[in-house]
Structure 1
Amino acid sequence: MPKPHGFSWEAHSDGSVVITHQGRAAGTLRGGRAAKFLAEAEAGDSQLLMARWTGAYKHGNERAARIHPRNR
């Protein structure tokens, strides 16, 4: 699976975190979820992390792509 790209995040003074994908809002985290995200963002691959937190990293077509003749 290719690595996700185009994600960025911005922490606000009220403690919320806004995650954007290619300039458009993909998700907003508040409270404990925002704190957990910030702790994980410092430690790992931030692009994959943001894709996972927004739910935009798997769409269900991975199995169909695997059996396509082009990918055999």
Structure 2
Amino acid sequence: MGGRAEGFDWAELPDGSVRITHHGKPATTLRGGRAADFLRDVEDDDPQELMARLTGNFKRGNERTAKLHPRNRGR
């Protein structure tokens, strides 16, 4: 299926927000309810995949197929 999510890390900040980094670079900061949901979910799910989904940095494996579709040829 899709590629393996790797290189993500997270830290809870003193104000309750959560900073997610990818290979040491800031990817996103979660605040409020999203931060609380993340802290709850990170215990149950694969943390790398969860962070990839939240940051939108996750290859789904269909990039080559979409590139070859007739409407995308020549782009």
Which protein shows a greater Rg? Answer: 2
TM-score, normalised to structure 2, is: 0.78
Contact 2:42 2:50 in 1 (8 A): yes
Alignment deviations for residues 13-57 of structure 1 (CA, whole Å, 9 cap, x no partner): 100000000000000000000000111101110000000011111
Whole-angstrom CA distance in 1 between matches of 2:59 and 2:3? 11
Letter in 2 for 1:52: R
Q: Residues 31-50 of structure 1 correspond to what in structure 2 (within 5 A)? A: 31-50=32-51
RMSD of the alignment, in Å? 2.0
Letter in 1 for 2:47: S
1:13 counterpart SS class: coil
Q: Which runs of 5+ in 1 are unaligned?
A: none
User: Residue 24 of structure 1 corresponds to which residue in structure 2?
Assistant: 25
TM-score, normalised to structure 1, is: 0.81
Give aligned-pair identity as a percent.
48
Whole-angstrom CA distance in 2 between matches of 1:32 and 1:2? 28
Comparing both chains, which one has the higher relative contact order based on Cα–Cα distances under 8 Å and sequence gaps of 6 or more?
2
Q: Could you list the structure 1 runs, at least 4 aligned residues long, displaced by more than 6 angstroms after superposition.
A: none
